[in-house]
Chain A
């Protein structure tokens, strides 16, 4: 629960600090120790309230759409009876459109104070507050039923209500909008209780000076935005074996229902697809951790593993493996409850999709047989992709080793005579003819004390094979198979393509976004 203390008093600093995770932003020379204590209590209580809030929002199965959708379309999709006003759809239209004017509802019966508030908010250089004023609780509740608003400034001692009731009635209707309580009573216990009830801030009217009010409004909005960011699904990273899925603690609480068709394929023991029982299911219930779906036939499940696929926005079907936790027969077929498998446990883990070196057979192959992989590829679940290219034995396709050797017979037993080229007289002769005790002497011109590099250079004669008497300037690359010991020139090696498989991985979180 970080608290950020800065010496500059600028609204931009406040907002940024909150967006980066600070709970509050204090200016060094503008607060008293009592104020600090008060703020710390506020922060603790506010955090507790936010946590409860997240749990409440995430536990709601009807919060299916991404936060960027408009309220109107959501309301149409959700049955009105199911709408609990307390847990109203998080309203992000306001948060997402920061350029537009922010609706501020000011509930205040004191007209003198009203002008002060208007004056401060309208002259705020961050700008864009559209202030609506009502002067009693009933009017505020009515207005909130019909309009959306981004922030509520609530005088909690209204003529038609006491402070506790005021907050209790306004808070559930406020949606995600922060409620900032205003009071004349400087009572810390009352203030803490107010925060506990869901107020963002609790301001004493007599202490409103130096733009405290507009800061409170900005920080309230910033905290709200941060809260909504936490609920937004994160974009999944692409990985070699398909997109990697990021399970975060928060999202496991969310439950959704999928409208797109769900392709289900049971997995046979051994990893092959059960072609007889693949079907199109309907999803009943979806969360980040698992999925419930219904298929149209009843049969004995071969294994507890299923592959399910959902078409995503890019037009491709993305697949993942699930483990069936419960199966209940229904009138139409079976209702299955399943848990998404981690990548490493899945049938489509990296080891199963890429060819692996088999030391016994001396070759590369995928752990599952080629027929099984071909069946999956035929279903469109796996897509073959070229992983590597290797050289193999032309006879048995085993792995060879390579070395240099005689071009004709591949033998390793070759000799190469070394000669000396004496620059001055152009003589080229064997090294032994040059070697004299203690020095090099040219046998042709009799120059003595020759120095390598300056006077002569070494040159190699042709390589001569001792096994077959072949001679050549260069040795050949010779391969020898590790499995069948067949010896062959390297250029005759069979070029093999290693085929691996690629799967478009289903990201349950992306599913939530797409539903």
Chain B
């Protein structure tokens, strides 16, 4: 079988091979691998330059120390909130904490109040009725005067240097927001979290490095991200979601701020542990791409707009290509493969695709390990690499469903992520 496959491989012409490899070459595998490789080459060159020309120069860490307000907005996160607060407390000197309880019924506010007894710079806000995450975050805005707002999810743990790392880029006044790394807190709990942990390492930790260098970083994780308060106040805070974090990022870019990535500002978050939760989460992400990148912020591609910037145009193009056009192309290819390719060769083609994909993922894994702060853990997570192609095909399928239903039925406005009274009165893009 294997011999047959090698024979088939060597008999095919290069163009034909490229044709059958088109999906992975066009889709994110190459994009992340090549991007990461490029980043690594630049970094390695810099490192060489420094060791050769400035061997004695010590890296001075953490020069910037603005006042920080950590906003923890959550719904029914009484169980995990204490750990989040513990992980934050005492890691940064000029920090206040605001916990916003978005109408929880599990006593989240009272747990936060107990903490507020011990932590002086802590405020607890409670909304009587659930109003969605955007309104909960906005609720905190009038009650702080800090320069930097850091949003943390109620089920995430911020690493001890996380706040320090995330505020460093704000030394540059053109930076409006900083994206941070989100990693899995429970990578080995189940197979599903293991696969997600590897995906997060690839897409966020190394993937955003590349996007940030290219200037097309357009996403800040809701679980951990930092914003300049003056910028947020100019924009009057978050709009109604789902996908409110991506929306705010785009609005910031539109108003001229830069978004950068702080790879070592890390936070560990609880990943979904069952498939249905994961699918619902991914559907929301895909809906947001259609709602915001393809509808609400379509004016970013208008060159006559006074705010037009090439990087924003590239960002939007990148999203359209990878999340919509190439996604459809992938499924078109899959149909073509199944219907038109000779049956005998189907197995060879799939095997070829699989091998190439895993090889590219291996390359990325090496780069992840190069940058990693915890190489042993990341290597263990990397053992899931052979399963990743299947996982990605599944996510592509979710993506197909989600994008299609959002384009044709505006599904996100029927989603319960935002309460119904808010959904009904907001704009349907």
Residue ranges of A at the interface with B (Cβ–Cβ < 8 Å): 417, 419, 421, 423-430, 443-444, 454-455, 457, 459-462, 471-474
Contact = CB atoms under 8 A, between A and B. Distances in A.
Interface string B94-116: 00000001000000010001001
A216 to B, nearest CB: 80
B244 to A, nearest CB: 8
Contacts of A426: 131-132, 134-135, 138, 237-240, 244, 422, 426
A428 B239 CA distance: 11
Contact of B128 (A424, A429, A459, A471): A459
15 contacts: A419-B142, A421-B138, A423-B135, A425-B236, A425-B426, A426-B238, A427-B135, A428-B139, A428-B142, A443-B236, A457-B129, A459-B127, A459-B128, A462-B124, A473-B124
B123 A425 contact: no
Given A426-B135, A426-B237, A459-B139, A421 B125 contact: no
B129 to A, nearest CB: 7
A175 B142 CA distance: 100
Interface residues of B, number: 31
A428 B126 CA distance: 13
Closest 8 A/B residue pairs (Cβ): A426-B134, A444-B236, A428-B138, A423-B425, A473-B126, A423-B422, A428-B139, A426-B135
B238 A473 contact: no
B188 interface: no
B209 interface: no
A177 to B, nearest CB: 79
Nearest to B120: A470
A17 to B, nearest CB: 68
Contact of B127 (A421, A424, A443): A421
Given A428-B142, A459-B128, A423 B123 contact: no
B142 A472 contact: no
B239 A421 contact: no
Contacts of B236: 425, 427, 443-444
A443 B139 CA distance: 15
Nearest to B419: A423
Interface string B139-155: 10111000000000000
Contacts of B336: none
A496 B422 CA distance: 49
A473 B113 CA distance: 8
A427 B237 contact: yes
B237 A473 contact: no
A489 to B, nearest CB: 11
Contacts of B124: 462, 472-473
A444 B131 CA distance: 17
B427 interface: yes
Contacts of A430: 142
A425 B239 contact: yes
Interface in B69-111: 101, 109
Contacts of A471: 123
B17 to A, nearest CB: 51
Query: Chain A interface secondary structure, helix, strand, loop or mixed?
Result: strand
A473 B142 CA distance: 15
B421 interface: yes
B123 A428 contact: no
Given A424-B425, A472-B113, 9 more contacts: A424-B240, A426-B138, A429-B142, A443-B236, A444-B236, A457-B129, A457-B131, A461-B143, A474-B113
Contacts of B237: 426-428, 444
Contacts of B101: 473
A421 B123 contact: no
A465 to B, nearest CB: 13
A417 B139 CA distance: 12
A457 B421 CA distance: 10
A73 to B, nearest CB: 72
A427 B132 CA distance: 11
A474 B123 CA distance: 11
Contacts of B139: 419, 421, 428, 459
Contacts of B134: 426
B138 A472 contact: no
Nearest to B98: A462
Contacts of B127: 421, 459
B426 A424 contact: yes
A430 B421 CA distance: 21
Contact of A462 (B125, B129, B421): B125
A473 B143 contact: no
Nearest to B124: A473
B235 to A, nearest CB: 9
A303 to B, nearest CB: 59
Given A461-B143, A472-B124, A425 B129 contact: no
Interface string B416-429: 00000110011100
Interface in B226-257: 236-240, 244
B425 A461 contact: no
Contacts of B142: 417, 419, 428-430, 461
Contacts of A461: 125, 142-143
A423 B125 contact: no
Nearest to A444: B236
Nearest to B237: A427
Nearest to A476: B113
B427 A423 contact: no
A59 B425 CA distance: 93
A428 B142 CA distance: 8
Given A462-B124, A471-B123, A473-B109, A423 B421 contact: yes
B138 to A, nearest CB: 4
A395 B240 CA distance: 53
A454 B424 CA distance: 9
A421 B135 CA distance: 7
Contacts of A460: 128
A514 to B, nearest CB: 59
Nearest to B139: A428
Nearest to B133: A426
A425 B244 CA distance: 11
A271 B220 CA distance: 82
Contacts of A444: 236-237
A444 B141 CA distance: 13
Given A426-B237, A427-B138, A428-B142, A455 B126 contact: no
Interface string B175-187: 0000000000000
Contacts of B426: 423-426
A428 B233 CA distance: 12
Contacts of A428: 135, 138-139, 141-142, 237
Contacts of A474: 109, 113, 126
Interface in B287-313: none
